[in-house]
């Protein structure tokens, strides 16, 4: 496991890991690699110290009075009194009917909520970068793109997407699958020469209900993330990185002049 991969994995390490998380083979391998490398070990200690300072700062935030008791009261269940079999059976049937109704209502609400959310590229771009902001883990760790492509195909990503050739020059970190509005999304992560990371999302064009992107890539900005996006052969691609557009430009599928105006390659009226 290479140093950058170790750092990527250990950024999700917490002091309160569960036993299952502690014994996770990927996390265990990263911890062992850090322990065996003085430079990595020093980085890990500094990273954990930063986390500890943040926890200490947040520990001073006081919840409102009575919140703990209110939560416990909601979770508390009293022992059921003994009752004749018929009464208990009616209670169980009523409870089962209530649970079934709740499940049906919940499923209906989820379907309505999904249907009511716009399936536009702007929402997709915003939600994918928000996913990166929350911190995440990878489903598969590998530094070779053919291995990553094979894993993605075997785990629900439709065939047909093609990552740009310049990405073959980069060291990959790994990948995972996501779902957006019922559509499969492939996420592949890379190390950049600058030390930053590049996150590449691929989703079928049919996932979007709005206007199409051109094949000519365009740049955008979502918070701390520089983005690049384009469409090709029925797929929509999204780059997200904290590197600048100059570095990302070299990794796009075709050479083009950088236009500093976001959304410059949208077809149709601007936002």
Whether the predicted model's global pTM rises above the 0.85 cut: no
Which of the four pLDDT bands, split at 50, 70 and 90, describes residue 74? Answer: low
CATH fold of 121-249:
Protein Transport Mog1p; Chain A (3.40.1000)
pLDDT at res. 93: 55
* Highest mean predicted confidence (pLDDT) among 60-64, 101-105, 111-115, 192-196: 192-196
Which pLDDT band holds residue 241 (cuts at 50, 70, 90)? Answer: very high
Across the range 129-145, mean pLDDT stands at 92
Core vs surface per residue 43-67: b (16+ CB within 10 A) or e: bbeeeeeeeeeeeeeeeeeeeeeee
Using N-to-C axis directions, what is the helix angle for 25-36 and 38-59, rounded to 10°? 120
Residue 176 has pLDDT above 50, yes or no: yes
pLDDT at residue 147, as a whole number? 93
Q: Where are the domains of the chain?
A: 3-59, 121-249
């Amino acid at each position: 496991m290479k140093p950058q991969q170790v750092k990527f994995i250990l950024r999700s390490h917490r002091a309160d890991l569960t036993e299952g998380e502690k014994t996770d083979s990927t996390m265990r391998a990263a911890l062992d690699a850090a322990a065996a490398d003085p430079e990595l070990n020093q980085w890990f200690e500094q990273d954990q110290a930063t986390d500890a300072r943040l926890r200490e700062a947040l520990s001073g935030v006081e919840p409102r009075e009575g919140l703990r008791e209110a939560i416990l009261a909601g979770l508390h269940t009293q022992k059921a009194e003994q009752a004749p079999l018929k009464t208990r059976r009616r209670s169980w049937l009523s409870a089962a009917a209530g649970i079934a109704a709740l499940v049906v209502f919940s499923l209906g609400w989820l379907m309505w909520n999904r249907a009511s959310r716009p399936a536009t590229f702007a929402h997709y771009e915003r939600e994918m970068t928000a996913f990166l902001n929350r911190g995440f883990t990878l489903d598969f760790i590998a530094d070779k793109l053919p291995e990553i492509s094979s894993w993605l195909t075997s785990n629900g990503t439709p065939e047909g997407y093609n990552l740009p050739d310049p990405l073959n020059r980069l060291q990959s970190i790994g990948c995972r699958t996501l779902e957006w509005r019922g559509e499969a999304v492939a996420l592949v992560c890379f190390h950049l020469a600058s030390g930053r990371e590049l996150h590449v999302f691929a989703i079928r064009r049919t996932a979007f209900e709005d206007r199409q992107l051109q094949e000519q890539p365009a740049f955008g900005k979502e918070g701390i993330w520089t983005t690049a996006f384009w469409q090709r052969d029925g797929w929509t691609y999204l780059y997200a990185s904290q590197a600048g557009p100059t570095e990302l430009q070299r990794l796009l599928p075709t050479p083009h002049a950088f236009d500093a105006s976001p959304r410059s390659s949208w077809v149709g009226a601007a936002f």
